Amino acid sequence: MKLLFLLFALMFLGCGNDVAKKPNTPAGTCGNGRLDTNETCDPGISSGEGSCQVSCGAGSCETAELVGSANECNLRCVRTPQACADGDGCCPQGCDASSDSDCTNTCGNGTVETPEICDGDCPTSCQGTACAPGVVVGSASTCDARCETEPIILCDDGDGCCAAGCDASNDSDCEMVGPSCGNGVVEAGELCDGNCPTACQPRNACETASLQGSAAQCNAGCEYDPISACVGGDGCCPAGCTNATDSDCSTTCGNNFIEPGETCDGNCPTSCTAPNACTRVTLTGDEEQCNVRCIEAQITQCQNNDGCCAAGCTTANDNDCACQPSTCQQLGAECGRPGNGCGQSLNCGQCASNETCSNFQCVPVSNGTLGAPCTGNENCTGGLTCVTTDTVTMVTYPNGYCTTFCAALIAPCTEGVCIGTTDAGLPLEVGNCHKPCTSSAQCRGGYSCVSGGCYPN
């Protein structure tokens, strides 16, 4: 009946215009399955080099963060060295035992570390005074060599010292009178006499020297202070400084400091552990070059028995994926026995005596009138037909709708409201009769009062 009305309308009123087609839009290079300029990955590469990973694995003494976007082909891992911190098991670049308890001292690496006194520039001789000659104590091999003075306490002729408590009667270096600055003999209370220093030179590159006292007072002497600041170009690499903070420090693989260009030093990994079953990890680099690292690649293919259920895979194409059965609530089922998605049926209950189960939904038993629910034409009365999806208006009616075809001027709706469309290629509105209403409260579930008729939401 509906088809006859449409043919009749076409014969007398003509046809509408064709629907305009959208032009095709050319795709960009991101996603074309190869690495192009300025791309770090491409989602079109399923695995291996160039694929877009979904997680980062941090190396030794560093943190890792995934930045960028796979959709923009710039997804990448950014790794940042950790700060000096006790007890985290890591000795990052620029840290030593004085700032990080996880660092160990290494005598002979050219860097003075706590509790070392020297490293590579240990003194081999010391200055002193006639009554307190300087001597080297400690050892360069243990990095604790240093200068100390040993005061002379014995009265001894010819040693150039008139020790405390000595005089001319028991020490030829003493005069009959008290200490006299300028007599060429270093006496008690004097640092020098006749051989006082006029300038001081640092004993090594990591200390400064200054002249203190006065030759006129026989107390002139050199004072030495260690350099602690990281300053490039002064010839010194103080304790705690590295090539990153002081250009005088060399980048040396094997000094237990992770410096620029190195991924490890002294604690290079010998094996890699994948963070999860869907990540393949490969050990690359050379410990002697301090560039050993673990490279991660995400598994993207659905493959049985590899222990990984990759993104987008299901039990249908990968037996490593566990089936997640659906519930009645998740399916929106109120009645009947729908499948749970894992090969089993659910029992979603029964409907009330005045309802029937349709598509796993409890709907009122139809009285066959306009707007009543239905599953077939046999549920409708008065010449009405059961509509679930209208082929003209493309409107879906939940749980069916007892109605009849209507068209302006040709087939008016006498018992209800004609609601339709002019998008069907006809110059008039065609549709279906709808139950009249003044508010949505008069419409059944899934319908609202629109233009005076109960219409699907």
pLDDT digits 0-9 by tens, 52-88: 877 787 777 888 888 889 899 998 888 888 888 888 7
Task: Compute the distance between CA of residue 229 and CA of residue 237 in angstroms, rounded to an integer.
Answer: 9
Q: Could you read off the pLDDT of 373-412 as tens digits, one per residue?
A: 888 888 898 889 999 998 777 889 998 999 998 887 788 8
**Dihedral over Cα of 201, 203, 204, 208: its sign:** negative
CA–CA separation, 243 and 232 (whole Å): 9
Q: Would you say how long the chain is, in residues?
A: 457
> How much is the pLDDT for 9?
39
Take residue 210 and report the two structure tokens written for it: 């200054």
Could you list the beta-strand ranges (E) of 274-343: 279-284, 293-298
pLDDT (tens digit per residue) in 213-259? 999 999 999 998 999 999 988 888 888 787 778 888 877 788 788 87
Is the pTM higher than 0.85? The answer reads no
pLDDT above 60 (res 160): yes
pLDDT > 90 in the chain, percent = 26
Report the 10 Å Cβ neighbour count for 96.
Answer: 23
Residue 145 and residue 163: Cα distance in Å, rounded? 27
Strand pairing category for 221-226 and 207-212: antiparallel
CA distance 382 to 333: 32
| pLDDT of 27 | 45
Based on its alpha-carbon atoms, the radius of gyration of the chain, rounded to whole angstroms, reads 47
